[in-house]
Structures are given as C-alpha cells and as structure tokens.
Amino acid sequence: METLWFCLVAFMLAAYVILDGFDLGVGIVHLLVGRNAEERKQVLAAIAPYWDGNEVWLLAAGGTLYFAFPLLYASSFSGFYLPLMIVLWLLMLRGGGIEFRHQIHHPLWISFWDTLFSVSSILLAIFFGAALGNVVRGVPLNEEGYFFEPLWTTFTVVPDAGILDWFTILMGVIAGCTLTSHGALYLAMKTTGTIQERSRSIASAAWWSVAGTSALGLIATSAIRPQIWGNFSTYGWGYIFPALALCGLCGIWVFGRKRRDAAAFISSSVFIGAMLSTTAFGLYPNLLPSSIDSSPAITVSRAAAGTYGLNIGLVWWIIGIVLALGYFSFVYRTFRGKSTPETPVSEGY
C-alpha cells in the first residue's frame, strides 16, 4: 500500500513538473521570445487558461503527500523552511506578474510585470531543481526524522551542507535548461509567425544544454549517491526509465528538426517524466535519504499513515483524479488551437 502511494505521489509531482513546467519554461523565455508588449501578450495568452490549473497539481500533490506520508511532510517542510517560503513568495510574484500585467496599459507597468514574471520563473525552476538535488543527496536527519538546512554553508557536499551546494546548484541548472527547452517547445506548438520561429531556435539551442547538463548530472549523481543505482541492478526492468528518457531526448531532437512541434513537445514531456521516474525508482524505498550515517533515512514504511486511511484515500483519490483528468481534457479541448495576437489574456482576472 505504501508503495502504491509512493507511485501516486510521484505521479502527481511528475504531472506538476510537466504541466507547470511548460508555463514556467514559457516564463523563462518570455523576454527573449517576445520582444515588445504586443508579442509578450501573445506569449502569455498561450498559457493564460492553463497556468493556475497546472499549479493546482502542486497543491494536490502537497496535500496527498501530507495525508499519505505525514512524517515526510512534517520533516521536509520544516527542514526546507527557508527555500519553501521563498518558493511561495516567488509563486505569488509570478502569479501577480500574469494577473496584474493587463490591468494598466502603460509601458512601464507592463515591462515591470513582464520582467518580474520571467525572473521569478527562472528562480523557481532553479529552486525546484535544487530541491530535487537535496532529496537525492540526502539531508542531515536527526533521530526523530527532522532536520533544518540553511540556504547554503560552504557550497561543498558535506553532511551538514545547505540547500545550495555545487551538486544541488547543478541540479538547479539542469532543471532550468530542461524547462527552458520545454517551454520553448510548448510555445513553438502553440504560436505562429515570429514567435514560433524564435521559440524553435531557442529550443534547438536549449537542447544542447539539456543534453550536456544532464550528462554532467548523471556523473555527479553517481559520484555523490552511488546507492541510487542499487535498485537498478536488483530489478533490471527499472532500466526502462532511463531508456525512455533517452528516447525522449532523441525525440525532441528528431521532431524538432522536422518541425513537428507537437511531437517534440510530447517527447520533452516523456523526457521529464522518465527522468523523474528514474530518480524515484532509484530512491525507493527511501523518501528522504539521510546524509548523516548514524541516523536512518525516512522510508515509505516509516512515514506512511495508517492502513485504514490509506485504503479509504485510494477510493476518493481515484475518483478525484479521474474527474480532474476529465476537466483538463475538456479545458484543453475548449481552448485548443494556436495563440495569435487576437487571443485574449486573462482580462477579468
């Protein structure tokens, strides 16, 4: 049962990264792809009906994590206190950037919110990557399973490292590159004309950075946490995840060359999903490894809530997610098509 919930939470987080990932990515390339207020409006229109629905996946994943693994929720949220709060503020500023931008038609007002939207998107991508890096690297848990990390200490990977050390920064950079590519591919699919052309050229440049940093990340992870490959040697079928990631990466390249934008974007989603699955597969049964040798990691069985609650939860969770997937396909169908200069942005919002 705990294993199933591990998979479900991982699924929700992956859905969040893929979905909110594209609108974060759009934020990263926002200032490059759109060169004036009109073009930038068109860029925003491509994500306007979706972005807050995408963000709900983070909330739903957080809630599900809370109910299925209370200890993990308690430990990681208090341990990552500062970066989480900063992420919250960035999410607020970014939401403000999208919502407030259209309220006043003054160049200064618009360029202020555009810049804020883009900068907060970049920082969020890096922080999310660094968060994943912390989970892979392990954190200094005490016997009760709690910890606290400052933002940084010496930037080296030591047992009492901060949130940011060279390894987690590298992971942040990987996340930044990946979402840049993801967002650019999304825009190539959803726009036309100049914006589409610019998105395509950013995407093809970003591909190299994704491939390069991911290779670096692979080497660094093997050096920092070789245990992550343990599950793969025990259960050989796990290699399907890195293999899928490789396929996704190739797919982005091939379809990108052929200008099949939708296929390239789907490949990018596969790449992200498979990379996260690889990480989750390698971590299991740990939810949060310990960087202190004497204290044990937080594992799925240690963190899980009572069996009765987990069973009941499965019933409503499945109903809820099926409904949510239904809504999503309905919205994406209703607002399908490209974003053009006439597409409305969130005026009333």
> Which of 31, 32, 82, 263 forms a contact with another protein (CB under 8 A)?
82
CB of 235 to another protein, least distance (A): 29
Can residue 107 be called a binding residue for another protein (CB under 8 A)? no
Q: Is 11 in the site for another protein (CB under 8 A)?
A: no
Of 31, 32, 52, 218, which one interacts with another protein (CB under 8 A)?
52
Q: Is 43 helix (H, G, I), strand (E, B) or coil?
A: helix
C-beta of residue 27 within 8 angstroms of C-beta of residue 118: yes
Candidates 107, 226, 236, 306; binder of another protein (CB under 8 A) is 306
Q: Which of residues 16-45 bind another protein (CB under 8 A)?
A: none
Binding window for another protein (CB under 8 A); candidates: 31-39, 209-217, 281-289, 323-331: 323-331
Q: What is the DSSP secondary structure assignment for residue 164, as one 8-state letter?
A: B
Q: What is the CA radius of gyration of the chain?
A: 20
At position 304, the amino acid (one-letter code) is A
* Angle at which helices 166-190 and 107-137 cross, to 10°: 130
Do 270 and 251 form a contact (C-beta atoms < 8 A)? Answer: yes
Q: By CB under 8 A, is residue 63 in contact with another protein? A: yes
Check residue 76 for interaction with another protein (CB under 8 A): yes
- With CB under 8 A as the contact rule, the residue among 56, 169, 218, 247 that binds another protein is 56
Among 148, 152, 208, 235, binds another protein (CB under 8 A): 148
Residue 42 CB, nearest distance to another protein (Å)? 12
Interface segment toward another protein; rule CB under 8 A; list 29-37, 58-66, 167-175, 197-205: 58-66
Among residues 186, 175, 187, the alpha carbon closest in space to that of 268 is found at 186
* Pairwise CA distance, residues 15 & 182, whole Å: 14
User: Which residues are CB-neighbours of 345 under 8 A, at least 6 positions away?
Assistant: 41, 44, 45, 48, 101, 102
Cβ at position 271, least distance to another protein in Å: 25
Among 1, 11, 100, 295, contact with another protein (rule: CB under 8 A): 100
Amino acid letter for position 80:
F
Determine, following the binding rule CB under 8 A, whether residue 296 of this chain makes contact with another protein.
Answer: no
Q: Does 219 bind another protein (CB under 8 A)?
A: no
Contact between 89 and another protein by CB under 8 A: the answer reads: yes
List 16, 50, 186, 207, residue binding another protein (CB under 8 A)? 50
Dihedral over Cα of 132, 137, 142, 148: its sign: negative
Distance CA 209, CA 315 (A): 42
Contact 249, 174 (CB under 8 A): no
Amino acid at 245: A
Task: Tell me how far, at minimum, the Cβ of 67 lies from another protein, in Å.
Answer: 3
Q: Is 260 in the site for another protein (CB under 8 A)?
A: no
Q: Does 215 bind another protein (CB under 8 A)?
A: no
Considering only CA atoms, which of 116, 87, 86, 84 is closest in space to residue 99?
116
* 147 belongs to the binding site for another protein (CB under 8 A): yes
Instruction: Say how many residues touch another protein, by CB under 8 A.
Output: 73
> Of 219 and 318, which has the nearer Cβ to another protein?
318
- State which residue, 71 or 185, has the beta carbon closest to another protein: 71
Q: Which of residues 150-209 bind another protein (CB under 8 A)?
A: 192
**Would you count residue 262 as binding another protein (CB under 8 A)?**
no
| DSSP SS3 for 91 | helix
Identity of the residue numbered 98: I
Whole-number Å distance between alpha carbons of 243 and 261: 22
